[in-house]
Amino acid sequence: MAEASSVRAIEARYRHKNGSWRTINVTGVNRLDDPNFGGIILTSHDVTERKKAERELRESEARHRALLENLPDFVLTVDRNATIQFVNHCFPHLSPEDLLGKTGFDFLVPERQEACRAAFGRALSTGESQSVEALDIFDIWWACRVVPLTDDGEIRYGMIICTDVTEQKRAEEAIPEEQSLLRNLLSLHERERQLVAYEIHDGVTQQLTGAQFNFEAYQQLRSETPDKADKMFETGVRLLRQRIGETRLLISGLRPPILDELGIVAAIEYLIHEQQPFHGPAVTFTHDIRFDRLAPPLESAIFRIVQESLTNACRHSHSDTICVDLSQREDRVEVRIRDQGVGFDPEQAEEHQFGVRSIRERARLLGGLATIDTAPGKGTCITAELPLIEDADSSRIVEPVLRRDVNPS
């Protein structure tokens, strides 16, 4: 027999007269030892709605937790002291255990803490969400939304929703630099156009005009004074030959015809032959490639990188030798220009010399990378690695006049 006055509670389900199932909490009190009562007292409470509310609350919490854990954003809750109480998933470089119980501001760089503290304080004092940008100690930029949370009508916590905007910030920071580079490129192209115009006006045009005058004088004098006419004719021919040679050099400086006709290897060999100064450094060229022709923009970029590097090395390196290497690495093509000269500070050079920056940008614009390994007294090694893009049109036809220009008799 059960002890006197013992209490026991159970939950039970029954079907209501309307057909629905209800949950009741039944409590039984044993009063068998009471001579005035001698029985068991049963009481029941309908807890259907309470159980339903508890179940819905658990399901809601589970849904919200699953939602938070699967959000790409980093979400954390903090108390009024900014002590971290909850994180939805692992933070880059840190586990949840590394964060819980710590002050959130301690993970921000000092220069961003004041603005973040101010936004956090406004959210708790005004009850309105605040937005602020934060930079953490791992150099990650976050766009943060601080949402105040109430408990019994009082703001006790804050939820901070953080979105990684590092790439966006880097892109924004790069815009002024890109704009400056574009201005420099446009300025460089304009200067090149001016130089070509001056060369044509002051050189080609004037000497062609001189040749024309000599030939016209030859026509007038050949019947009266043949000897003098022959001299005028010879002078005209000499002027034409000089202009043809200078025009070839002018064209080669822009884009050598041999690059279109025979490809990058022949163009580099031609460039070395044309640029190597008398009594200047000895330039060697080696190549290890399997491709036939590259896409024209790629060939042009490689040619310009070699041209710029050779020009700088011949003018400033004071090196006795310069080595140019062209090689193929699976789906990449690599060009390297090395000297044993005086070297330079690449950071200062990039500020004052556009050529160094143009080498990097030509590689970058084609999805590659150019590195400049140098220091004062160390020598210089410029390496450009570019994606290997072969020429889709192998049937390009070059005008015969270009062949005559490249290989003059």
Q: pLDDT tens digit string along 240-267? A: 887 776 676 666 566 677 888 889 999 9
Cα distance between residue 210 and residue 69, in whole Å: 83
Report the largest interatomic distance among the alpha carbons of the chain, rounded to a whole angstrom: 165
Phi, psi of 394 (to 5 degrees): -85, 5
| pTM of model > 0.85 | no
- The tens digit of pLDDT for each residue in 328-343 reads 988 899 999 999 999 9
- The tens digit of pLDDT for each residue in 303-329 reads 989 988 988 888 888 999 999 999 998
* Selected residue with higher pLDDT from 29 and 232: 232
* Selected residue with higher pLDDT from 52 and 57: 52
The two structure tokens encoding residue 31: 């009063």
Q: Are 384 and 359 contacting, i.e. CB atoms less than 8 angstroms apart?
A: yes
Q: Which residue in 85, 92, 88, 94 sits closest to 66, CA to CA?
A: 88
Q: Which residue bears the tokens 């070297």?
A: 343
Q: Are strands 84-87 and 7-15 parallel, antiparallel or unpaired?
A: unpaired
Q: Are 289 and 327 contacting, i.e. CB atoms less than 8 angstroms apart?
A: yes
